[in-house]
Amino acid sequence: MKHFLLVFLGGGLGSILRYWISKNLNSYYSNFYLGTFLVNIIGCLLIGILIGISLKHNYITQNQTLLLATGFCGGFTTFSTFALESNLLLKESSILYTSLYLGLSVALGILAISFGLWLCKML
């Protein structure tokens, strides 16, 4: 039961922060969901760092991984919202904006995870 509570608490905090960032940034650009984009990249970097620290130093316990990686990052990142907004861009905007949003989100997300893992190796 403790594991479920840790995921629940982390997910709630991540979701609140995602909502706040998206609410404040998505309204600035009508052709690009900047808040969702940044949340996805930051979430990828955070999970890369968390897993990197865990693999290199064993500093992070299973409970901390559940709270931070599974819970917080899971609630913070917004892949389902990303997919919905990609669909909306495709319907409402140009192929260019849709392609940029999809391509940059995926490429930079993977790079952010790789950078987080690399950064932990260097520490």
pLDDT confidence of residue 29 = 75
Q: Is 77 annotated as a binding residue?
A: yes
Q: Is 70 annotated as a binding residue?
A: no
pLDDT confidence of residue 59 = 84
3-state secondary structure 31-99: CCCHHHHHHHHHHHHHHHHHHHHHHHHCCCCHHHHHHHHHHHHHHHCCHHHHHHHHHHHHHHCCHHHHH
CA–CA distance, 65 with 69 (Å, rounded to integer): 5
**Residues lower than pLDDT 70 in the chain:** none
Tokens of 21: 């960032």
Q: Which residues contact 114 (CB under 8 A, 6 or more apart)?
A: 48
Tens digit of each residue's pLDDT (9 = 90 or more) over 52-63: 888 888 888 999
Q: Whole-prediction pTM value? A: 0.79
36 by Cβ neighbours in 10 Å (0-12 / 13-18 / 19+) ranks as buried
